[in-house]
Structure 1
Amino acid sequence: ITEDSIRMDDQIGKWSDTTPATDHIQELCDKVKPEAEKKTGRDFREFKAFFVGDEYLHLWVIESISTGELVIELLGVQQHHKWDDPLKPFDENN
């Protein structure tokens, strides 16, 4: 997960370039871990934005303050990715 991967480019429907994950991205991962485990049916021993391993998740996470209160929500999970897999749009089944 990278910070820019969750932000859309100025053009609607286009992803921005990816950049290394930040501490803020790790905080988001920590907050959505229980929901990601529920959606995937898996128990993740390690859930790191910085971790290099054999399998990766792509998470669709939004952070909003539209109600005046900070809301962090996991909208989708894509499983079984490799390190260099491109980001792909999520659909209602992810």
Structure 2
Amino acid sequence: MMMCGGLNEPKAADPKIQAICEKVKPHVEQKAGKSFDVFTAKMYREQVVAGTNFFIKVHVGGEDHIHICVFKKLSCNPGEDLQLSGIQESKSHSDPIEYF
């Protein structure tokens, strides 16, 4: 059971998480200043706030990974439902997903 405000345990990415990654990929590339040929969600953690923060480990080619934070609004709030909150570059497969 997830505690409101806390991060849940890491889970393997599923098609829902990959779909979130695909939607925010252009924003990630703009923020990183580069394009990614590979953009595969591997693991994620969730934080329930006034919506949900998704902290996602994304494989971007070779041994390289990035961590992205995506905020998903509650469905009752108007506007775009997904917002890229931040990215962390130069991550490895073994780096833990932490709050940022």
Q: Runs of 4 or more off by more than 3 Å in structure 1?
A: 50-53
Matched, 1:24 2:24: no
Paired residue total: 81
Superposition pairs of residues 50-69 of structure 1, within 5 angstroms: 50=42, 51=59, 53-64=62-73, 65-68=75-78
Task: Give the one of 7, 10, 17 matched to 2:3.
Answer: 10
Contiguous gaps of at least 5 residues in structure 1? 1-8
- TM-score when normalising by structure 1: 0.74
Unpaired runs of at least 5, structure 2? 43-58
| Root-mean-square deviation over aligned CA pairs | 2.0
Tell me the distance in 2 between the aligned counterparts of 1:53 and 1:66. Answer: 40
Distance 2:12 2:81 in 1: 23
| Bigger proportion of residues as strand | 2
CA distance in 2, matches of 1:70, 1:85: 30
